[in-house]
Amino acid sequence: MSSRQPFEMKAIDPEGMFDPKPLFSHVCTASGDMKVVFTAGQVGMDEHGNVAPTYEGQVEQAVKNIGRCLEAAGAKVTDIVKINYYIVNYDPVDRPHVPIILKFLNGHRCSTTLVPVQCLAKPELLFELDATAVIPADRAAGAPTLPPTDTMAVDVVVVGGGLSGLKAGYDCQSAGLSTVVLEARDRVGGKTWSKTGAKGKGKVELGGAWINDSNQSYMYALARQFGFDVIQQITTGDCVMHDLDGSMHKFEYGGVPKHDPAEAENMVQIRALLERLCHEIDLQNPQNPEWDSVTLEEFITQNGGGPTALGTARLWTRGLLGCEPREMSALYFLDYVKSGGGLMLTRSDMKHGGQFLRIRQGTQSFSEGLKSLLKPGTVALGSAVRKIEQTEEGKEVYVTTEDGRKFLCKRVIVSVPTPLYKEIGFSPALPDDKQKLAFSTKLGWVAKTIICYDEPWWRAGGYSGLVQSFNGPVTIMRDTSSDIDGHFSLTCFSQGDTGRAWSKLLPHERCAQVIDHIARAFDNSSAAVNHIGAFEQQWAGEQWSQGCPSPVMGPDLLGNLGHALRSPFENIHFVGTETAYEWKGYMEGAVRSGDRGAKEVIAVLLRK
Which residues make up the interface to ligand FAD (CB under 6 A)? 159-165, 182-185, 190-192, 207-211, 384-385, 415-417, 420, 423-424, 446, 448, 539, 544-545, 548-549, 576-577, 585-588, 590
Query: What is the smallest separation between the CB atom of 287 and ligand FAD, expressed in angstroms?
Result: 24
Q: Which C-beta is closer to ligand FAD: that of 518 or that of 587?
A: 587
> Which string of DSSP letters, residue by residue, matches 168-211?
HHHHHHHTT--EEEE-SSSSS-TT--EEE-GGG-SEEESS---B
Q: Which C-beta is closer to ligand FAD: that of 415 or that of 513?
A: 415
Query: What is the smallest separation between the CB atom of 219 and ligand FAD, expressed in angstroms?
Result: 7
Query: What is the smallest separation between the CB atom of 493 and ligand FAD, expressed in angstroms?
Result: 7
Q: Which C-beta is closer to ligand FAD: that of 103 or that of 592?
A: 592
How many residues would you count in the chain?
Answer: 608
Cα distances (angstroms) measured from residue 38 to each of 27, 62, 76, 98:
18, 15, 13, 22
> In a 3-state reduction of DSSP, which class is residue 56?
helix
Query: What is the smallest separation between the CB atom of 76 and ligand FAD, expressed in angstroms?
Result: 13
What span, in angstroms and rounded, lies between the C-alpha atoms of 209 and 587?
9
Query: What is the smallest separation between the CB atom of 362 and ligand FAD, expressed in angstroms?
Result: 12
Task: Show Cβ contacts of residue 493 under 8 Å, excluding neighbours closer than 6 positions.
Answer: 318, 319, 446, 447, 448, 474, 475, 476, 477, 499
Query: What is the smallest separation between the CB atom of 221 and ligand FAD, expressed in angstroms?
Result: 14
97 backbone dihedrals φ, ψ, rounded to 5° = -75, -25
User: Cα angle vertex 137, ends 131, 143, to 5°?
Assistant: 105
Task: Show Cβ contacts of residue 544 under 8 Å, excluding neighbours closer than 6 positions.
Answer: 184, 185, 190, 384, 416, 420
What span, in angstroms and rounded, lies between the C-alpha atoms of 143 and 187?
12
Query: What is the smallest separation between the CB atom of 175 and ligand FAD, expressed in angstroms?
Result: 20
How many Cα atoms occupy the beta-carbon half-sphere of 212 within 13 Å?
Answer: 20
Q: Which C-beta is closer to ligand FAD: that of 185 or that of 259?
A: 185
Q: Which C-beta is closer to ligand FAD: that of 187 or that of 250?
A: 187
User: Cα angle vertex 48, ends 45, 54, to 5°?
Assistant: 35
Query: What is the smallest separation between the CB atom of 424 and ligand FAD, expressed in angstroms?
Result: 5
What span, in angstroms and rounded, lies between the C-alpha atoms of 35 and 43?
25
The answer to whether the CB of 128 falls within 8 A of the CB of 86 is: yes
User: Which candidate, 595, 540, 550, 599, places its Cα nearest to that of 577?
Assistant: 550
User: Which candidate, 552, 539, 581, places its Cα nearest to that of 321?
Assistant: 552
Q: Which C-beta is closer to ligand FAD: that of 68 or that of 520?
A: 68
542 backbone dihedrals φ, ψ, rounded to 5° = -85, 120
Q: Which C-beta is closer to ligand FAD: that of 34 or that of 77?
A: 77
Query: What is the smallest separation between the CB atom of 173 and ligand FAD, expressed in angstroms?
Result: 17
The answer to whether the CB of 416 falls within 8 A of the CB of 160 is: yes
29 backbone dihedrals φ, ψ, rounded to 5° = -125, 150
Task: Show Cβ contacts of residue 424 under 8 Å, excluding neighbours closer than 6 positions.
Answer: 159, 385, 386, 387, 388, 414, 416
Query: What is the smallest separation between the CB atom of 293 and ligand FAD, expressed in angstroms?
Result: 28
Query: What is the smallest separation between the CB atom of 320 and ligand FAD, expressed in angstroms?
Result: 10
Q: Which C-beta is closer to ligand FAD: that of 359 or that of 521?
A: 359
Q: Which C-beta is closer to ligand FAD: that of 165 or that of 305?
A: 165
Q: Which C-beta is closer to ligand FAD: that of 541 or that of 554?
A: 541
Q: Which C-beta is closer to ligand FAD: that of 288 or that of 546?
A: 546
CA 158 to chain centre: 20
